Structure 1
Amino acid sequence: MGGTAAEPRYNGRMQITLNGDARHCAPGTSVLALLDAAGYGGKRVAVEVNLEIVPRSAHATHVLAEGDRVEIVHAIGGG
């Protein structure tokens, strides 16, 4: 029972890749919810899903799918 790419397969959770590491999350998880769960909530970050930038204005509505590759980059101030 391999399932399809869109099917959650891990005890009702789906697998994504976050910054190169496998991670499980609930189906229907938004980019914003993932940011909160990963400790980036409220921080100024850039998010890329499957090599495409997700604008900040879409973080709450962009829903992740099984197998998505997510990269989060946060700015570090300096002078």
Structure 2
Amino acid sequence: MNTTITIAVTVNGEGRQLDGGSTVLDLVAMTTGRELGPDGRPADGGRLGVAVALNSEVVPRARWAATPLAAGDAVELVTAMQGG
């Protein structure tokens, strides 16, 4: 029997189901649709323009891969926008 464990988290106010063991890095990669290196930088060398808060605490990009998500976590993904 192959059972996948999932966890329920809130991302930008909306409920999401993620695989158990997911990290902040995994969530950012899934949300942006971009491949990220272990340092949180895009594999294509471009800019990402994303900041992350986990349970109201900012998570530095260098810690994304080492920050696991748990059931009930509240994540805010903020993207940089340009405009005038």
Shorter-chain TM band: 0.7 to 0.9
Q: Residue 44 in 1 paired to residue 37 in 2?
A: no
Q: Which runs of 4+ in 1 moved over 2 A?
A: none
- 2:17 is paired with a residue whose SS is strand
Q: Residue 59 in 1 paired to residue 64 in 2?
A: yes
Structure number with the higher helix fraction is 2
The residue aligned with 1:5 is none
Q: CA deviation at 1:38?
A: 1.1
- Percent identical residues: 39
Q: Residue 18 in 1 paired to residue 16 in 2?
A: no
- Residues matched between the structures, number: 69
1:32 alignment partner, one of 8, 11, 25: 25
TM-score with structure 2 setting the length? 0.74
Deviation track 1:16-53 (CA, whole Å, cap 9, x = no partner) reads 00000000001110101101111263312110000000
TM-score with structure 1 setting the length? 0.79
| Structure 2: runs of 5 or more not aligned | 35-41, 43-47
